[in-house]
Chain A
Amino acid sequence: MLTYLLRRILYAVPIALGVSLVVFSLVHLAPGDPLSAVVPADAPAEVVEKLRHDYGFDRPLPVQFFLWARHAVVGDLGRSVATGEDVATQVLAAVDNTITLAIPAAILGFTSGIILGGIAGYRQGRWLDRVATGIATIGISVPHYWLGMVLVIVFSVELNALPAMGMGEGGSTAWAWDWAHMQHLILPMVTLAFIPMGIVTRTVRATIAETLGQDFVEALRAKGLGDARILGHVAKNVAPTVLAVLGLQLGYLLGGSILIETVFGWPGSGFLLNTAILTRDIPVLQGTILVLGMFFVALNVLVDLAQTLVDPRIRRG
């Protein structure tokens, strides 16, 4: 068991390396001068050259990668080309805001997904199943950025009940769990929860349907167990697959919230990414994608481990 744990973590290292390589090449493959965001076109040549040297853009690419990676490992992600701020601090603050949004959305999405999926799985073929599956299908088909707009129209424009944008007073650094702030959270949170809800519902329904059809459930019923007790057995069988999906979805919420954050002006990592792309701020771009990518790699390892704990068949090592 311990060997499996170690092996899994060890295995993540080349992946992390691969991720950083991809991130680095992505950004440097891009056409265009990385300095163009900062330097006006008519700047004198020496100034441009000095800046290029300061940022290290004049070194050969493998050297740049090595230097960047070496700094990244200790937490130094460079300085933003656009604002001059320390990238690491910026990114972490932004990720913090994304987490504030993503975790409640995840909880909402997962809970509703499990409940709906459970209902659908246990009432297969009946109208409850159709309703639940229908909601799930809507969840995975709806363009969430559009849904955000619709909710804003309903609740902000028409009803004037909830704010349309932003994170509340104090901007991105002064989050508090009071109504003044939380009212800003509601719309983006509900919007963000839709897709995981849809996917979780479908997964839970499919897995429950498959498990209920197995012989051991018949055997349990024949022994006289009621639905409630069987539910415990079913849950244990369904857990590994559902856990994997939950993990993936959490990663998706953390890394893929950019569209929602743009719609609602939520200053999270997605918003930061968007800005960095527009201003071609290479260090911020690299830093953000790297941090998000690493998050996901770590999350995958955790999900794998959790799966092993829950599903005795997978136990290895």
Chain B
Amino acid sequence: MTATALDAPVAVPVKSPSHWANVVRRFRRDPIAVTCLVLLLLIIAAAIFAPWIAPYDPYKTSMIRRLQVIGAPHYLLGTDELGRDMLSRLIYGGRLSLFMGLGPVAIALVVGGCLGVAAGFLGGWVNTAIMRTVDVFYAFPSVLLAIAISGALGAGLLNSIVSLTIVFVPPITRVAESVTTGVRSLDFVDAARATGADTFSIIRVHVLGNVLGPVFVYASSLISVSIILSSGLSFLGLGVKPPEPEWGLMLNTLRQAIWINPIVSILPGVAIFATSICCNLVSDGLRAAMDMRR
């Protein structure tokens, strides 16, 4: 063969950035997404380091100092209906609220991901069994399902997490199945099968890498829903119980106070709103960073 430029030897091996490296690079160019990610990390950090940051004990009540306004001396964000410092409660509240928000999505990602990939790759009766079961759960609007399961299991942190996980597994399974079916039909999967590799290795090496991205992005869009739903459950009295600081529960107990100190009573909701919006914008940024790939 005639020597062409392609044949010319190169001294050092050429290495290209991987897919994820490209995604990170594109994400970094999006100012809104990066800002929200930073904010989110700050919120998470505040929750983790609560004992060192919060000015007061979040459980300490004081009947004299109930419902102080914002900017009151010693109480930057006022106090709640039992005299507890709002700022401390909000910071500590982040722990439970974030845990109840992120936990179910993380678990559902693993469970739903496995189910969806199995259904998509194996097809046949496995697919039918899994997807039709998923369809039954789709018959319920998520809020209704969450409340029904929580109502059945009873209030409590663990029950809420179980309830929300069950709510999120079906949509993640659906997305995972759909993406896997698409990847499965591509020639390179057939080429891999033609080499005699076993199913598990084919999934691990060829399918997962192409499926995880879209599924992960979808799951990230569910985080804000999870935070709102979990706080909503607490709002209804189905989540954590008093006196735990949790944003949704705080909204519930402060409801009567809207006539007396409206600004303070809506503060927990501001926290939920802020976290939720940051999650959504980061998720959007992630999707955009992955989209232009192909």
Which residues of A line the B interface, CB within 8 A? 14-16, 18-19, 22-23, 26-27, 29-32, 137-138, 140-147, 149-150, 152-153, 157-158, 251-252, 254-256, 258-259, 262-263, 273-274, 276-278, 285, 289, 292-293, 296-297, 300
By a CB distance below 8 angstroms, the chain A residues around B140 are 19, 22, 255, 289, 292-293, 296
Give the CA-CA distance A153 to B258 in the complex, in Å: 7
By a CB distance below 8 angstroms, the chain A residues around B133 are 18
**Beta-carbon contact of B237 and A278 below 8 Å:** yes
Shortest C-beta distance, A223 to chain B (Å), equals: 30
Known contacts A137-B277, A276-B151, A293-B139, then 6 further A-B pairs from the complex at CB < 8 Å, ordered by chain A residue = A22-B137, A30-B153, A141-B224, A146-B268, A255-B140, A255-B144
Is B236 on the interface with A (CB-CB < 8 A)?
yes
Is B243 on the interface with A (CB-CB < 8 A)?
no
**Beta-carbon contact of A146 and B266 below 8 Å:** yes
Main secondary structure of the interface of A (DSSP, over half): helix
Given A29-B153, A277-B147, A289-B148, are A143 and B262 also a contact pair (CB < 8 Å)?
A: no
**Beta-carbon contact of B144 and A19 below 8 Å:** no
Name which of A140, A277, A292, A296 has the most chain B CB atoms within 10 A of its CB: A277
Number of A-B pairs whose CB atoms are under 8 Å? 134
Give the CA-CA distance A141 to B273 in the complex, in Å: 6
Shortest C-beta distance, A105 to chain B (Å), equals: 14
Is B269 on the interface with A (CB-CB < 8 A)?
yes
Which residues of B line the A interface, CB within 8 A? 132-133, 135-144, 147-149, 151-154, 224, 228, 231-232, 235-238, 248, 251, 255, 258-259, 262, 265-266, 268-269, 272-273, 276-277, 279-281, 284
**Beta-carbon contact of A277 and B144 below 8 Å:** no
**Beta-carbon contact of A143 and B269 below 8 Å:** yes
Name which of B135, B151, B255, B279 has the most chain A CB atoms within 10 A of its CB: B151
By a CB distance below 8 angstroms, the chain A residues around B235 are 145, 259, 262
18 contacts between A and B (CB under 8 A): A14-B132, A16-B139, A18-B139, A23-B148, A29-B153, A30-B154, A31-B153, A141-B273, A143-B232, A145-B235, A147-B269, A149-B265, A251-B141, A252-B143, A258-B236, A262-B235, A273-B144, A273-B151
CB nearest neighbor in B for A286: B148
Return the contact of B139 from the options A15, A158, A263 (Cβ within 8 A).
A15
Give the CA-CA distance A277 to B236 in the complex, in Å: 10
By a CB distance below 8 angstroms, the chain A residues around B139 are 15-16, 18-19, 293, 296-297, 300
Give the CA-CA distance A313 to B244 in the complex, in Å: 54
Give the CA-CA distance A285 to B262 in the complex, in Å: 34
**Beta-carbon contact of A153 and B266 below 8 Å:** yes
Shortest C-beta distance, A119 to chain B (Å), equals: 18
**Beta-carbon contact of A256 and B144 below 8 Å:** yes
Given A258-B144, A259-B232, are A143 and B154 also a contact pair (CB < 8 Å)?
A: no
By a CB distance below 8 angstroms, the chain A residues around B284 are 137
Give the CA-CA distance A251 to B266 in the complex, in Å: 29
**Beta-carbon contact of B151 and A285 below 8 Å:** yes
Give the CA-CA distance A256 to B147 in the complex, in Å: 9
By a CB distance below 8 angstroms, the chain B residues around A285 are 148, 151
Give the CA-CA distance A293 to B141 in the complex, in Å: 8
Task: State the 9 A-B residue pairs at the shortest beta-carbon distance, nearest first.
Answer: A146-B269, A256-B143, A18-B136, A255-B141, A277-B151, A141-B277, A255-B144, A141-B276, A30-B152
CB nearest neighbor in A for B277: A141
Give the CA-CA distance A15 to B232 in the complex, in Å: 28
Return the contact of B141 from the options A32, A137, A157, A256 (Cβ within 8 A).
A256
**Beta-carbon contact of A277 and B238 below 8 Å:** yes
Give the CA-CA distance A146 to B277 in the complex, in Å: 14
**Beta-carbon contact of A143 and B276 below 8 Å:** yes
**Beta-carbon contact of A149 and B266 below 8 Å:** yes
CB nearest neighbor in B for A296: B139
**Beta-carbon contact of B135 and A256 below 8 Å:** no
Shortest C-beta distance, A205 to chain B (Å), equals: 12
By a CB distance below 8 angstroms, the chain A residues around B259 are 157
